Amino acid sequence: MANKDFEQHSLENISIEQTRTMLTEILGEGGPVICGSRNRKGAATEEGKALEAEHNGVANNHAYTVLKFDADKDTVTVRNPWGRGEWNGANDGVNDGTFEMPVADFYSSYRWVGGGVEPKRVRRGMTEFEGE
């Protein structure tokens, strides 16, 4: 994966099945993969119910690390960089910020997934920093 730039994939415009394919491909590239949660604060459903009333433990408008996609179990393993705070459906009994969730819940909780950056290369805006 030489000199590959960060690629962000919106989940707004793809299906759950396309999300599974994208997760398989992007995690297979070997670089770090991150995702951004939806901003539920202040938003409302079509019925007028506040989305934060349906909050599922995933922090609003927050970045997470995608660690794994398990196609056999149809789950995604995600890590909150705060080291705490998990999806309400996580049942491992440990609030360490790392949890596994079904792809359908991942799809409804996150807006985008990005990756493709070599571990020693970070791109911020228009400026690149090369690692040693």
38 band by pLDDT with thresholds 50, 70 and 90 = confident
Provide the 3-class DSSP secondary structure of residue 80.
coil
- The pLDDT tens digits for 64-109 are 999 999 999 999 999 999 999 899 988 888 899 999 999 999 998 9
The predicted pLDDT at position 117 comes to: 59
Residue with structure tokens 């705490």? Answer: 84
